[in-house]
Amino acid sequence: MTPIDVAVAGCGPAGMATALLLTEQGHRVRIHERFVEPGPVGSGLMIQPTGLAVLERLGLAEEVKARGAPIRRLHGKSLPSGDTALEVRYDWLGTGDRCGYGIHRADLFDILHRRVGAVGVTVEGDCAVRSVVRTGRRVCLAGNGWRSREADLIVDTMGASSPLAGQPPRPLAYGALWATLRAVPGFAADMLEQRYRGASRMCGVLPIGGGKVAFFWSLRQDRLEAWRAAGLKAWKGEVRELWPETAPLLDQIDDPDQLTFARYAHRTLRDPVQSGVIHIGDAWHSTSPQLGQGANMALLDAWALACGLAGHDALADGLAAAVALRRGHVRLYQGLSRLFTPAYQSDGVVLPVMRDLLVKPLSKLWTAKRLQAEMVAGTFGGPLKPLGLR
């Protein structure tokens, strides 16, 4: 495709990966970010083999590995029974030394942001995007009192709350409190550990490199104010009752502001392409983080967009090809998320009991083990081969 002008809305992993990939193809790219100084939001996340495949093509995989923590196993216990409620090992994939990588969002942001600066992509801050303005065949982003330069294509990477997506997401009942803490003895350095009481109480510890862990606690969105009113002491008592070994982690929290509340929502746009606009990542398909695929799906979307534009002369054809490369995998994981989220985050009673009855015996069957590992790794459904990724 002849080089075009591209306006990227959002300076998160999806936006920066898109900018890097399209700049490499010769397109003229500018990123627009609502914050005056772009920066990361949140604590830790998991880079799966799918997302790592894209980062490898960007030449950033080794730095991500160096700054993150290799995660070789996911393990969760249901209390008070102590039954296994989650068991996944990456070696069940049966191919090489695969693993996920826990990493702080700030580290991933820094890796991508430095590369964006190095290749000369302009990042414009203080650009709160509200709408798209069309002028003939060209488009531009607009906000309160500002308008971007005209472009041939807008790439919306602003997440589940994107004002450009049109279709509002369906808020999920449960969110989570997150904190970045210093790692302490007693927790494996290569394992995501979780504890559950039914599906309404969940606590997790994810190593994220640099001697740190991401600590999270499941909480209904409509109970956030009650949590604040009750105070840290009451909450810490509840966490210790569920998982006493977290006490040294909880001792590091002395201010509610150390905890960030993440809200989750579900939405899948029927058509993520409008005239001159494509929505990728959570702007196209937002969901619960239970399968740990958010950033990885967004990176795959960015790569698919680059593939689509590279393979077609007409912009519309390139966008259609990009969506076609991702639609099946997106639908598959949106469906899996709907299926599994209620078993781990809900007020249900039956599903968590079924979970506890089934997980342990399934983890002994090779076919089921491989299937579980592929779902967590993001490789279920074979998304990499159509994209030319390993």
Residue 119 covered by a domain? yes
Question: Which tokens is 84 given?
Answer: 């296994």
Question: Which tokens is 270 given?
Answer: 């029927």
What pLDDT shows up at residue 359?
76
What pLDDT shows up at residue 363?
72
Residue 233 covered by a domain? no
Residue among 184, 183, 203 at smallest CA distance from 193 = 203
Residue 252 covered by a domain? no
Q: Tell me the average confidence (pLDDT) per consecutive run of 10 residues in the chain, 390 residues long.
A: 96 97 98 85 90 98 98 95 92 86 96 97 95 94 94 97 90 96 97 96 97 97 97 97 97 96 94 96 93 94 98 97 98 92 91 83 81 94 95
Helix axes 350-362, 366-377, angle to 10 degrees: 120
What does the H/E/C string look like for 358-382?
HHHHHCCCHHHHHHHHHHHHCCCCC
Residue whose structure tokens are 């969760």: 76
What pLDDT shows up at residue 134?
95
Model pLDDT for residues 45-98, shown as the tens digit of each residue: 999 999 999 999 999 999 999 999 999 999 999 999 998 889 999 999 987 778
Residue 32 covered by a domain? yes
Residue 117 covered by a domain? yes
Q: Are 30 and 149 in contact (CB under 8 A)?
A: yes
What pLDDT shows up at residue 365?
81
CA dihedral sign, ordered 334, 335, 337, 342: positive
Q: What is the SS3 assignment for 203?
A: strand
Domain span holding position 163: 5-68+106-169+266-387
What pLDDT shows up at residue 140?
97
**How far is the C-alpha of 101 from the C-alpha of 46, rounded, in Å?**
6
The structural domain count of the chain equals 1
What pLDDT shows up at residue 213?
98
Question: Which tokens is 296 given?
Answer: 């990885």
Report the DSSP pairing between strands 131-135 and 138-142: antiparallel
Distance from CA of residue 214 to its chain's centroid? 14
pTM: 0.95
Query: Tell me, what CATH number does 320's domain have?
Result: 3.50.50.60
What pLDDT shows up at residue 22?
98
Residue 77 covered by a domain? no
Amino acid identity at 384: L
Distance from CA of residue 20 to its chain's centroid? 19
Strand 28-32's sheet: what is its strand order?
A: 122-124, 28-32, 5-9, 153-156, 277-279, 273-274
**How far is the C-alpha of 86 from the C-alpha of 386, rounded, in Å?**
30
**How far is the C-alpha of 287 from the C-alpha of 169, rounded, in Å?**
9
Q: Is the peptide bond before 38 cis (omega within 30 degrees of 0)?
A: no
Q: What is the SS3 assignment for 288?
A: coil
Q: What is the SS3 assignment for 191?
A: strand
Residue 155 covered by a domain? yes
CB count in 10 Å sphere of residue 132: 20
CB count in 10 Å sphere of residue 124: 16
Residue 51 covered by a domain? yes
Report the DSSP pairing between strands 5-9 and 153-156: parallel
Helix axes 315-344, 294-310, angle to 10 degrees: 170
Residue whose structure tokens are 């799918």: 50
**How far is the C-alpha of 212 from the C-alpha of 205, rounded, in Å?**
10
